[in-house]
Amino acid sequence: MDFKKIYLSVKSQMVKLWQWFKPYWQKFRKWFKHVWKKFHLTKVILLLTLTVTLVMTVYLFYLAKTANIDTLKTGLEQVTTIYDDKNEEAGTLAVYGAKGSFVKKDQISPYIIDALISTEDRRFYTHKGYDIKGIARAAVRRVVRGNNSGGGGSTITQQLAKNAKLSQEQTLTRKAKELFLAIEIEKEYSKDEILEMYLNKSYFGSGVWGVEDASKKYFGKSAKDVTLDEAAVLVGILKGPSIYNPIDNMDNAIARRDTVLSVMVDNEKLDEKTAEDLMKQPLYLNDTYQPDHDSYRYPYYFDKVIDEAVRVTKLKDDDISNGGYKIYTSLNQQYQQGIDATFSNDSFFPPNASDGAMVQGASIALDPKTGGVKGIVGGRDYQYRGLNRVTDSKLPPGSTMKPISVYTPALEAGYKPEDILQDKALDYYDVQNYSRTYSDQVPMYEAVAQSLNAPAVWLMHEIGIDRGYKKTEQFGISLDEKDRYYGLALGGLTKGTTPLSMASAYSVFANEGVRKDPHFITKIEDPTGVIIYENQKAKSKRVTTPDVAEEMTSMLQSVFSSGTGVTAKPEGYTIAGKTGTTENVSVDGMSKDQWMIGYTPDIVIATWIGFDKSGPDHFLTGSSGSNLAGIFKDESQRILAASPNTPFTVKDASQPEESEDDTLGNQINGLGDKVKEGANSFGEKVKEGVGVLEDGIRQGIDQAGEIWSSLFGN
């Protein structure tokens, strides 16, 4: 192939193309120059550039001024602490936060300080938070190499700003924020304080933050006791914690150590002979680091506290976990420990499925008067900030929906607990009772106690689906338009609901018809004690009347006294509530979800068990009254033993006649005793009265005789 000939041919064609295009190009250039001069585009572009620069500068200045730099050191020194409903410490967020054990500068080896300044920021003690030479050097490196390898020109102060307040993304915007924050940090803190904060905030690999914990992780000693070569290793890790930590990459760690020692020689912090001797030494590791996992004492509860804190304060997760905040909550540690104890007992739960899938569970204890969550367990396989089935899983509620969607609106429409409902097959909706039998007619309270399906659907038909649909939404249950059908009476929701929502809905019955917004947090204070969020009185909404709430409670007591929840009744306590079961469509006669909700005037407990994914191998046998009974009974007894035990003001609707007869009998017996006492007393009074009467008669006769004699003689 003749490349020269091809080249000449291509060149000839390009020349011809240029000759054709040249007049058009010259014409365009002339027009463009005219337009440029006419509209002063140079000035316009310059003005726009200056305006954008000014706006960005003002914006970054505002961010720096509002970043709460004054609380930075306090936040690093303190751990974010969770307090319970008695304002007692319940635990901290330290173990899962990017924070280690905080130590003062005088507790850090000077070898570490020298190694850090030599490798990271030689002019640390002379600059004002930024290093012009370092920035210029990094810029040249980026132009030449096309990346930031070799360092990004950030000072130790800028790195502290990034670690404490910013993300790790490599963008110009983040670098600009970092610069402005660094300037503010330098204004607020001394150089020694900045070094102290940086070394306590930095990540050293292997899951440890801070130089103190890193020293224990790698060398089994405090930061003040590390040797010169160990200090070089620790500082070397900062360049790449996953690459240069000696546990995962010993060779890389030694090579980086030698580089740090060489830089210390260049910076006159170490003589060359000592450095060479240290480079020849092997590296010995000794891991004595013991993280305080017990501080994250109630993991499911603490997870939701972080989620709620992020939502109400707009702070980031890391800021909440590492900012040294004081978070006051509705947590009752006795309730929480009771739920934890029950859920840690595997014998209460059905066996795993044939494919090994675990029967899951979730439970919540809610204060009906305040809406505060007192305790929570979101599953049997906790993972940090993972799935919490109390708040995250959308589950069909089964028959626990009946009091909400059917019986409450029926009572509001004028029905009474003793009214008779139809219990038979219906021609407008295919429904069967759990027993597959019907009794033709049944009192409402009996239909509630035995969780009968047919009467519930019949009653919804009588009051109207729309009435039940609207009332369910008023209880705080989110519905889909597809839920506007008779299946709503049986809990057949398109998207399901959560145990938290169900507990909140049942709090209406325990709180005289009023629902309080459920919440975990009551107050948050920053490290300086300033209140940044407060929710002492949650929002409330009246859902029904106190009378209707009492009537519902009277019927729901019968669930545990004589109905489907009788085996789950906590010994020695009166409780109201409801059971619920949903069918597994893949296995006839078996259930997918089992629910039990119980309450007193002081607490609402909602518990669920089932499989995360339904299927032919994932099913529960029996009903909630059998499978779930042991779990609910155990946890409710633990909780109620620590509760105020405020009695209900209404009696069990399933025992009206017996209750009235007993009362009447007692009244009659009491009346008989009083009659006897009254008769005896009356007899004595009669005797006394007769004597008085005789005396009176005698005196009257004598006086009458005297009057007669004076008028008529003898």
pLDDT digits (tens, 9 = 90+) for 306-342: 999 999 998 888 788 888 899 999 999 999 999 999 9
Lowest mean pLDDT among 129-133, 508-512, 696-700: 696-700
What whole-number distance in Å separates Cα of residue 315 and Cα of residue 521? 15
**Domains defined for the chain, CATH in brackets:** 3-66 (no CATH), 96-280 (1.10.3810.10), 373-381+388-642 (3.40.710.10)
What is the band of 221 on the pLDDT scale with cuts at 50, 70, 90? very high
Containing 672, the helix (H) or strand (E) segment is helix 656-712
- The residue assigned the tokens 């080896």 is 109
Lowest mean pLDDT among 17-26, 610-619, 653-662: 653-662
CA neighbor of 593 nearest in space, from 628, 567, 629? 628
CA neighbor of 491 nearest in space, from 346, 591, 377? 591
Q: Are 85 and 331 in contact (CB under 8 A)?
A: yes
List 118, 120, 512, 551, catalytic entry: 120
Residue 667 class from Cβ within 10 Å (0-12 exposed, 13-18 middle, 19+ buried)? exposed
What is the band of 664 on the pLDDT scale with cuts at 50, 70, 90? very low
Lowest mean pLDDT among 196-200, 228-232, 445-449, 575-579: 196-200
What whole-number distance in Å separates Cα of residue 354 and Cα of residue 555? 39
In this predicted structure, what is the pLDDT of residue 293? 64
Please report, rounded to a whole number, the percentage of residues in the chain having pLDDT higher than 90: 59
In this predicted structure, what is the pLDDT of residue 51? 80
List 109, 363, 399, 654, catalytic entry: 399
Lowest mean pLDDT among 115-119, 161-165, 217-221, 235-239: 161-165
Strand order across the 360-366 sheet:
373-377, 360-366, 604-610, 591-599, 576-583
Q: Are 501 and 285 in contact (CB under 8 A)?
A: no
What is the band of 173 on the pLDDT scale with cuts at 50, 70, 90? low
What is the band of 471 on the pLDDT scale with cuts at 50, 70, 90? very high
Q: Which two tokens stand for residue 122?
A: 């030689």
Beta strands in 331-476 (DSSP E): 360-366, 373-377, 420-423, 440-443
Question: Cα-flanking dihedrals φ and ψ of residue 422, to 5°?
Answer: -80, 130
75 against 415, higher pLDDT: 415
Count other Cβ atoms within 10 Å, centred on residue 428. 9
98 against 472, higher pLDDT: 472
> Own/partner pairs for 55-62, CB < 8 Å, 24+ apart?
56/176, 60/176, 60/177, 60/179, 60/180, 61/180
In this predicted structure, what is the pLDDT of residue 67? 59
Pairing of strands 373-377, 576-583: unpaired
132 against 698, higher pLDDT: 132
202 against 683, higher pLDDT: 202
Lowest mean pLDDT among 120-124, 330-334, 603-607, 634-638: 120-124
Residue 263 class from Cβ within 10 Å (0-12 exposed, 13-18 middle, 19+ buried)? buried
In this predicted structure, what is the pLDDT of residue 686? 38
Lowest mean pLDDT among 368-372, 527-531, 553-557, 634-638: 527-531
In this predicted structure, what is the pLDDT of residue 691? 41
Assess whether pLDDT exceeds 50 at residue 672: no
- The residue assigned the tokens 């006159």 is 268
What whole-number distance in Å separates Cα of residue 660 and Cα of residue 645? 25
What whole-number distance in Å separates Cα of residue 489 and Cα of residue 553? 18
Our answer to whether residue 222 is catalytic in this structure is: no
**Of 132-146, 320-334, 450-464, highest mean pLDDT:** 450-464
What whole-number distance in Å separates Cα of residue 649 and Cα of residue 256? 74
Q: Are 523 and 546 in contact (CB under 8 A)?
A: no
Q: Please give the mean pLDDT across all residues of the chain.
A: 85
CA-based angle 646:647:653, to the nearest 5? Answer: 150
What whole-number distance in Å separates Cα of residue 343 and Cα of residue 608? 12
In this predicted structure, what is the pLDDT of residue 589? 72
Where would I find the H helices in 464-523? Answer: 465-474, 499-510
Assess whether pLDDT exceeds 90 at residue 279: yes
- The residue assigned the tokens 């550039």 is 49
Our answer to whether residue 399 is catalytic in this structure is: yes
Give Cα separations from 56 to 50, 63, 132, 136 (angstroms).
10, 10, 20, 21
What whole-number distance in Å separates Cα of residue 706 and Cα of residue 714? 10
Entry pTM: 0.75
Q: What is the mean pLDDT of residues 193-210?
A: 90
What is the band of 146 on the pLDDT scale with cuts at 50, 70, 90? low
Q: Are 236 and 244 in contact (CB under 8 A)?
A: yes
Residue 55's contacts (CB-CB under 8 Å, 6 or more residues apart) are none
Count other Cβ atoms within 10 Å, centred on residue 130. 18
